[in-house]
Amino acid sequence: MSNITIYHNPQCSTSRNALALIRERGEEPRIVEYLKTPPSREELKAIAKATGEPLRELVRTRQPEYLAQGLDKPELTDDQLIDAMLANPVLINRPIVVTPMGARLARPIEKVLEVLPSA
């Protein structure tokens, strides 16, 4: 079993392409369909920390729920954003790839290469 995890939405072409890229590198990741099995609060915090980016970068801003819930307000805390993401997993941006080398939001998918082992 690989030590690579992809938080995946099979309906998303970027997510499918990121999964294909990982497989092209000879890895078979653990696939988490996050809409069915969302990450926990602790997992979301750990993923954000591993990306080196603010947690806000993991929020999908193109969803109607984003503006409807006022998630564009810069004063919202990480915990408030996580509450929204847990209540509506569609707000979690994808795909997210986690490896022992770190985590990346694979947008563009080439960002995955930053955390994959060398071929």
Catalytic residue ranges: 12
| Residues 6+ positions from 11 with CB-CB distance below 8 Å | none
What are the C-alpha distances in Å from 16 to residues 13, 66, 86, 101? 5, 23, 23, 21
d(CA 61, CA 66): 6
Closest CA to 60 of 95, 17, 104: 95
